[in-house]
Amino acid sequence: MKRTQDRVSVLLLALFLALLLTLAPLPVALEPLRPYWVALVLIYWSLEVQQPIPLGAVFLLGLLLDVLLASLLGLHACSLLIMVYLVRRFRPRIRFFPPWQQALAVLLLLLNDRVILLWLSVLLGEPVPSWRYWLAPLVTTALWPWVFLALDQARLVRRQVGKH
């Protein structure tokens, strides 16, 4: 029971920090480079933890992200749900590789997410975004190995603190 609580506390802290970083103001010129922090945390958690986050919780997190970003309700909920499903589906294959090589799988997941968001936006009649729309997945992928190592370290520290 204690071990589950430790995992949940690390997950909640990581998601809280991801949401804060998502909401942090950036200059207009850097806005297209904003990493998708929530996706990185969810991908990590879906890959590394035996008991995955319930899909209902992923959906609610996506709804919260929609509200915080003032986007269409369900937009991020749908895309995060699909992303987490794909990570779970291909988990054994992706985990086989070290974080530096997992970054390619993360890039594909993030590009898939962008395609879904683009498709839904076009269905709503919104204009097609510029080429800068595709920069965020590249920046997010470049951060993957460091986020992976940071979350691994946080889980390890929490486990060691929990033993004492």
| CA nearest neighbour of 136 among 38, 20, 16, 12 | 38
Confidence of residue 2 (pLDDT cuts 50, 70, 90): low
> Is the distance from CB of 133 to CB of 114 less than 8 angstroms?
yes
| CA nearest neighbour of 47 among 145, 157, 160 | 145
Domain that holds residue 94: 2-163
Number of structural domains (the chain) is 1
| Residue-wise pLDDT tens digits, 87-137 | 999 999 999 998 888 999 999 999 999 999 999 889 989 899 999 999 999
Higher pLDDT, 16 or 52: 16
